[in-house]
Amino acid sequence: MTIRDNLVNVARREWTRWGGPIEKINGTRMGFTSSRMEADHPFWTFVHEYWNAVGSDLDGRDSPAWSAAFISYCFKEAGAGASFPSHENHSIYVSKIDSGNFQGLSLEDPGVTSLSVGDLVWASRSGDGCRAPPMTFADAKRELKRIREHGGDSFCSHSDIVVAVRSGEADVIGGNVRQAVTRTTYKLDSAGRIRDGRRTFVGVIQNAL
């Protein structure tokens, strides 16, 4: 099996460990056992495992967002090793991928890129302590270059792993989505490109590992 296949299997395994919470394509949510599952036992211990993947001792009872730690954990468990630039901030690892130094991973424009199982969908987000994020692929590319050149200016964002693609929709799994590991179904257009207003998508990380 490829690292890509393993990544999808790990994401599905972790989602199952959380009891399978979902957000349907119409926004309906099911399977959430509390408003902050991340702080409940045993889920906070799972978040501790994700943080360990980026060298931190935090867990789900702490306040920092852990979605990038989850992605890093999944790649580590999939056997990616140094092929994936693990980091606790999405914009930092995406900036490294965008440098072209990580063979098998590339950042593409979500406006023209059809999704495949094993890819990542990347969206900007706002929140407490977040500076204004990029809202387009072109703006995100410029911000990523600034990160590489100046070693700072990270911004808040979020990535999910694509685990299934069907006509008109895709299932993705991500961490810290409604404070859990959640499977979300997003709308796709007729060419398989993500077209869903629930997030501002600024990139697709194509995964050929």
As for how many domains the chain has, the answer is 1
Provide the terminal-to-terminal Cα distance of the chain, rounded to the nearest Å.
10
Domain of 181?
A: 3-207
Q: How many CB atoms lie within 10 A of CB 151?
A: 9
At residue 152, the pLDDT reads 67
Helices in the chain by DSSP H: which ranges?
3-17, 43-52, 67-77, 90-98, 137-150
Distance CA 137, CA 202 (A): 5
Under 8 Å between Cβ of 128 and 194: no
At residue 109, the pLDDT reads 98
Distance CA 156, CA 126 (A): 6
At residue 2, the pLDDT reads 97
Q: Which amino acid appears at position 25 of this protein?
A: I
Torsion angle of the four alpha carbons 105, 50, 201, 5, in this order, in degrees rounded to the nearest 10: 40
Distance CA 42, CA 57 (A): 16
In the numeric block, the tokens 């399977």 are attached to: 31
Q: Which amino acid appears at position 64 of this protein?
A: P
| pLDDT digit string (tens) for the chain, length 209 residues | 999 999 999 999 999 999 999 999 999 999 999 999 999 999 999 999 999 999 999 999 999 999 999 999 999 999 999 999 999 999 999 999 999 999 999 999 999 999 999 999 999 998 877 888 899 999 999 999 999 998 668 999 999 999 999 999 999 999 999 999 999 999 999 999 999 999 999 999 999 99
